[in-house]
Amino acid sequence: MQTRMYRPPSAFGLSDLRYGMRGLNNYHLSCCVNTLLQTLSATWELGDLLEKWEATGVDSHNVPLQLKSVLSAMRSDLPQPAPHHDFLHCLDRNCVRINMQHDADEVFLALLNFIQQQMDDKSLARKIQDLYKISVETHLRCLECFSIQTQSSYHLSLPLHIKEDHNTLESCMNSFFEQQELRGINCCFCSACEKKTSSEQAVRLLSLPPILCIHLKRFRNSHGYTRKLDCRVTFPETFDFHDIVKKAFCTDFAQNDCIYTLYAVVVHSGTAMFGHYTAYVRHWRNQRWYYADDSDVHEASWEEVKSTYGDIYRGTAYMLMYRRESKEGAQQPKLSG
């Protein structure tokens, strides 16, 4: 967990009201949650699914119910920051404590888990999970008997390690999917040999989701000390998964649409022990970029978004949200702001 810089709430937030971009006051180190709410608000597919949910018999401690309420409020064209105090207290009741420091990826995954656990409409809950579900198959090849074991699993965000040097999103993804040798203490049990053996492991894609969340793992733990890597990680506005990670796909991968366009960036400023979260989001109506820093929301440029590639004196990209484009073009949201 990282410590975040406290930013006091302002009486009147700055927003682009013409397009319903509303800020969020900072209450007791809530910049992490504020930033995630901005990215979730930009994920109009999530808002559409939550609006279909007719919640019955749930109380105010229900996280998806409070999330539905705050996302709806964030779409309205009002001058003051969107109300989300009830949402914060709801998270606190569900052990995501206010007045404490949190990691953005951990809170993001916790929110998706709460949706699965607390929505009474399990069909809609599965559809929300499917928005982010990256299905993979792990291949484990024994280096003694050469038998192959496979296991299917999924990620809700793609965790990418970065090197302490210049990185590209392409190089990070290729590293995630490259074959690795597991020896010594990393040996795995081979059912054919009936013992732990050295092996080769590879991860392959079974399917890609409509929303691809990428977690750039900038925090390293060593001997009980956490430090942040401010090294450079460049990322494109649009990319084709087929082009940049050619060996990532299982043989039975059947999707044709693998082109993704960036629509949100979670940014971390400061050090591992003292920092602050903000976000860049692309508005679904006018496709312009906006910068959200708690209650302050204003228009930004792609050049400003690229400034988050990495620098010790700047905010650095920590999570990237990409939307998959279909051959017919991106779908339009059903809700109006």
Q: Find the mean pLDDT for residues 312-319.
A: 89
Residue 133 covered by a domain: yes
Residue 337 covered by a domain: no
List, for residues 192-217, the tens digit of each pLDDT value. 999 999 999 999 999 999 999 999 99
Cα 282 to Cα 301: distance, rounded to the nearest angstrom: 10
Residue 1 covered by a domain: no
CA distances from 199 to 117, 144, 166 (A): 36, 8, 30
pLDDT of residue 48: 95
CATH code, domain with 240 = 3.90.70.10
**What is the pTM for the complete model shown?**
0.89
Residue 193 covered by a domain: yes
Residue 6 covered by a domain: no
Strand order of the sheet with strand 180-182?
Answer: 148-155, 134-142, 199-207, 180-182
In the chain, the number of structural domains is: 1
pLDDT of residue 215: 98
Dihedral of CA 245/246/247/250: which sign? Answer: positive
Strand 180-182, strand 199-207: pairing: antiparallel
Cα 246 to Cα 322: distance, rounded to the nearest angstrom: 19
Domain that holds residue 145: 17-325
Residue 175 covered by a domain: yes
Neighbours of 261 (CB within 10 A): 15
Residue 295 covered by a domain: yes
Residue 271 covered by a domain: yes
DSSP-assigned letters across all residues of 246-270: TT-B-TT------EEEEEEEEEEEE
List, for residues 147-185, the tens digit of each pLDDT value. 999 999 999 999 999 998 899 999 999 999 999 999 999
DSSP-assigned letters across all residues of 115-159: HHHH-S-HHHHHHHHHHH-EEEEEEEEETTT--EEEEEEEESSEE
